[in-house]
Structure 1
Amino acid sequence: MSPQGWLDIHGHFYPPQAPGDAEALAESFRAACFMVSHPVTWEVESILQYNDRADVQMQMLSYIPQTSPEKLKEANTYAASLVSKYPSRFGLLAALPTDDPELCLGEIKRTTSTFEIPADGFAVTTVYKGVGLGDPRLEPVWDVLSSQKAVVHIHPNAYAAPTNGRPSPLIEVAFDTARTVVDMLYNGVFRRYPDIKFVLAHCGGVLPVLAGRLALLGTEEWVPNPNDITRREIEEQLGRLFVDTAATAKTGLQPAVKMVGLENVVYGADCGVPCSTEQTMEENRKDIMDFEAQNDIPRGTILANGWKLFPKAAARVKANDV
């Protein structure tokens, strides 16, 4: 039986900040048309208090800085320390610097073999320092992750420039996800690595709405298709993906379920960043429960899916309850 509370697989964090960093971060947000009105901070106590109010038993932490490999490693190490301190409340999706395959391989090994509690999975962004996830140089990385049957959370590029005076997290992230997944599809990533459990943020962005179009038109002769991906492969490979529910449940769940099936939908809150507030996260969580009720789905089905995806995290919760 799964733990009773939610497993939030989409939780952001910031490592401890030096004086002035929080305001500097806020200024960088505002420069990208993301109009935050206060310094950007993250405090573990506040997150735990919110999770208690929201019946979130555990949150998977991820943070993918694009500053330097050292900062990325420091972030993973800090998150791992929180998992060790709160093993039934936090998990780690270790960030990978996907512009550098060798660094990725080193971080996979480090976060799975040297931490007190190994990483529960991995977090990547659609485009990291100009390198997309469909880039053939990442083949050695996918090969190792496939051998581990790893969970890999794909987040859109949080550092993309604003469009038409509006910040990328409003709608551009949804298109960013779709573009990257389509590139991975045509480059044969999903064909070669079916054992990797890829989880798309935000109900897959606009991808589920476009899945039928891809199946209908994606193998026509006017579409470049060097790997001869078939229509059946398009449908099957998109159907094997997972999606989280972050900030999109009201209108995103129906097409997402049609593309991947109900069993591949897991809860995500998008907690820990200024684009989410307690009010918006709670409204989104209510939308999930309303979706289950309106479609005669047993309550708690989506909640349970997350624990099935992360059985070791579920085991930590159960061990703590003994």
Structure 2
Amino acid sequence: MPNWSVDSALALMDDVGIAHALLSISSPGLSFVAGEQCTGLAWTVNEDGAAAVRSHPHRLGLLASPPLPNIDAALEEIEHACDDLHADGFVLMTNYDGVYLGDRRLEPVMDELDRRGAVVALHPTSPPGAEAVAMGRAYPLIEFIFDTTRTVTNLILTETLERHRNLTVIVPHVGSALPSLADRVNGFAKLSDHKPFAHIDVYGTLARLYYDLAGTPLPHNLSGLLAIAPADRLLYGSDTPFTPPNAIHATARALTQTELLDDTQKRGMFSENAQPLFGRLVQSAG
């Protein structure tokens, strides 16, 4: 686990030229503990994150973590995060003990986030049975990418995203494997023996999601993402501290120089596309 502190994060932001950053919990989220421990941990990390934001309101924002899969506790923490901590959004893991986003058991949480018009950033975590399929390699290598793809596909095919149009959803890692699988998911949905999915607008739904460019957007992945999403849905992401500073610098340079985006689209990707999502940060910066 790489070291992290508010001071080191701010120093990196200054070095790279990042004006604002969002704090959030990474994999495995909070569900490595259960019951009251998970609920208490959610309260603690969200309070700590909010304290960091209060100390640096012009630079930092908070994506709060609800203690899923406990629905009642998650609803209470959403209220606390929104009404008391004034969180800028939420981070949801792609699955909670094998329960994927889009599962009906999570519907009360999605309803409440939708009611509040929340920004929800997805973060991949290990799928059930990861040890059996990872072939001894680190789970983030490909399993995280597939788990994001799995949960977004479920959100689409269960019509969770259609029912919750007030949600703003951010998909990580340049869309994960969705650019490669969009045609397959759409084709599957339109097959005659899968009539429950035939009316679902797979391409339209993918086009209205937001996509962070953390990871490896270039040389190949960004072009695939632009085939399913317009450039005004792209968001720069550094993924610090898991991405080392030299890689963050290299990716930022590559995105600045790429010919896949024009200058207006680059300004959007680096800054302007995020402004409607995180208005408090923009206003606090004056």
Taking structure 1 as the reference length, what is the TM-score of the superposition?
0.80
Tell me if structure 2 keeps the 8 A contact 1:186–1:229.
no
The match for 2:224 among 233, 255, 266 is: 255
Query: Partner residue of 1:65?
Result: 30
What secondary structure, in the 3-state scheme, does the structure 2 residue paired with 1:259 have? coil
Q: Give the letter aligned to residue 62 of structure 1.
A: S
SS in 2 for 1:166: coil
Out of 134, 138, 149, the position equivalent to 2:102 is 134
The answer on whether the counterparts of 2:191 and 2:198 sit within 8 Å (CA) in structure 1 is: no
2:89 aligned with 1:121, yes or no? yes
Counterpart residue type for residue 18 of structure 2: V
Separation in 1, partners of 2:268, 2:154: 31
Letter of the structure 2 residue corresponding to residue 60 of structure 1: L
Cα distance in structure 1, aligned partners of 2:106 and 2:260: 42
Cα shift readout 1:283-317 (whole Å, capped 9, x = no counterpart)? 222222223x4443424221121223211211111
Displacement of 1:229: 4.5
Deviations 1:176-210 (A, max 9, x none): 11111111111110110112011011012001221
> Quick check: 2:94–2:124 contact (8 Å CA) kept in 1?
yes
User: Cα distance 1:286–1:222, how it changes in 2: closer, same or farther (>3 A)?
Assistant: farther
Please say if residues 211 and 233 of structure 2, whose CA atoms lie closer than 8 Å, have aligned partners that are also in contact: yes
Of 95, 114, 120, the match for 1:146: 114
Separation in 2, partners of 1:248, 1:306: 20
Aligned residue for 1:12? none
| Letter matched to residue 270 of structure 1 | D
Question: Which residue of structure 2 aligns with residue 3 of structure 1?
Answer: none
Equivalent-residue separation in structure 1 for 2:252 and 2:217 (angstroms)? 8
Displacement of 1:41: 2.4
TM superposition outliers: structure 1 runs of 4+ over 4 Å: none
Q: Which residue of 2 aligns with 1:89?
A: 59
Residue 173 of structure 2 contacts residue 213 of structure 2 at CA under 8 Å; is this kept in 1?
yes
User: Larger deviation: 280-289 or 122-131?
Assistant: 280-289
* Gap change, CA 1:248 and 1:53, over 3 Å in 2: same
Q: How far apart, CA to CA, are the structure 1 residues paired with 2:260 and 2:158?
A: 38
What is the match of residue 82 of structure 2? 112
Q: CA deviation at 1:158?
A: 5.1
What RMSD, in angstroms, separates the aligned Cα atoms of the two structures? 1.8
Q: What letter matches 1:312 in structure 2?
A: R
Contact 2:93–2:123 (8 Å) recurs in 1? yes
Distance 1:294 1:256 in 2: 11
Letter in 2 for 1:126: T
Distance 1:282 1:153 in 2: 23
Residue type at the aligned position of 2:103: D
Query: Which stretches in structure 1 are left out of the alignment for 5+ residues?
Result: 1-25, 27-39
Structure 2, unpaired ranges of 5+:
none
**1:310 correspondence with 2:266:** no
TM-score normalised by length of structure 2:
0.89
What is the distance in 2 between the residues matched to 1:111 and 1:277? 30
